[in-house]
Amino acid sequence: MWQVLLYITGCLVVMLGLLVVVKGWQYRQGFGWCTSQASMEGKVVLITGASAGLGKETALDLARRGARVIMACRNLQKATKVLEEIREATGNNLVEVQLLDTSSMASVRKFANNFLKNEKRLDVLILNAGIIGPSKLTFTDEDNEITIATNHLGHFLLTNILLDLMKKSSPSRIVVVASLAHAFDEGFDIDNLNMKKNPYPGSLKTYSYSKLCNVLFTKQLTRYLEGTGISCNALCPGVVGTEIFFKGSWNILWLFYGAVSKFSKTPLEGAQTIIHVAVSEEAETKGEFYDNCKVTDSSPLSNDLVLARKLWEKSEYLVDLKPEERHY
C-alpha cells in the first residue's frame, strides 16, 4: 500500500513542478521593459535602499544615463562595495553613498537635513527601501511597528522634508515602489498602523498593509502637488527573487523563496518599471499605478481618497511632522 502512496505522491510532485515551470514561463512572457533612451545628465537622483536588488539595478541604470545618484542605504559597508561596482561599470564618479535607515525617523531627519545643506536640486526621488518584517511584532526605538516604519513612515517623512527642494527643481518626479500585495487589504485599520489594538496579523499581512499605505500616500500626495510640476506615481516591480525573502521570517524563506525563484523576475527585470517611471516621457503622469511599465488599476481601497487623507493625517502624527517640515 505504501508503495502506491509513494508513487502517487511522486506523480503529484512532478506535476506540481511542471505546473510551476509552465506558469513561470507564462509569467515571464509578460515582462515589461523600459525602452526609453532618455539621458539623465545634470539630474540628481536619490534612491533609498540601493545596496542590493532593485535599488542597485536602478542606481546602475541611472548612473549609466549620466545622473548624479545618491544611494541612501542602511548598511554603508555593503553599499560602498556596490558603489565601487557601479562607478567601475559606468565610469560615473558622481555616484555616492549616504547613511539612511528609513525605519528611524531620527535617521531620516538627519539625512534629509544634510541633503538640503549639500544639494542644490533633486530631480527624481525613488522610494525603494523595504522589508518583509520579522514573524513577531517588533517596534522601533520610536515605538513604530518596524515594517510600517521602514516601508511607509520613513518615506513619508523624507518626502515631506524634501518637497520644497523638489518644487525648486521641477519638473521632478517621485517614484514609489509599492506592490500588487497592496490589494490584499482585508482587515486594514487606519487606527492600528502600529498593530497594538489586535493580535499581530503576521509579517506578510503587515507587508501588504505597508504597500497599501504606499499607494494611498501616492494618491494623497498627488492631490497636494497639483500645479507644482512634481509628479508622483506608484508601481509594482513584479515578483522579484531578491534578498528581501531572506530578511523576513522563516516561513517566507522556506515556503516562498524556493517557488518564487522558479518564475520570478531577476532584479534587473524587476527594476525596469522603476526606471521607466523615473525617466520615460510616457511616464509623465500623476497619481497612477504602474505594472510592467504600463499604467494599470490599483485596488479599490487604494483609490479611497477619504482613506488616503486619513492615512496622511495619521502618518503626520506618527512621525511628529514639524511645521517647518510641511511643504505642501
279 — phi, psi (to 5°)?
Answer: -125, -25
The 3-state secondary structure of 58-72 reads HHHHHHHCCCEEEEE
**Contact present, 157 and 321 (Cβ < 8 Å):** yes
303 Cβ contact partners less than 8 Å away, ≥ 6 residues apart: 219
d(CA 102, CA 99): 10
**Contact present, 32 and 292 (Cβ < 8 Å):** yes
Hunting for cell 525648486 — which residue is that? 168
Element containing residue 309 per DSSP (H, E): helix 305-319
Q: Three-state SS for 208?
A: helix
Closest CA to 241 of 261, 256, 223: 261
Which of 207, 209, 257, 290 is labelled catalytic? 207
Strand intervals (E) in 136-229: 172-177
Can 200 be counted among the known catalytic residues?
no
**Contact present, 130 and 103 (Cβ < 8 Å):** no
309 Cβ contact partners less than 8 Å away, ≥ 6 residues apart: 220
284-303 in b/e form (b: 16+ CB < 10 A) is ebbbbbbbbbeeeebbebbe
**Contact present, 203 and 133 (Cβ < 8 Å):** yes
The 3-state secondary structure of 100-132 reads CCCCCHHHHHHHHHHHHHHCCCCCEEEECCCCC
Q: Which residues are catalytic?
A: 207
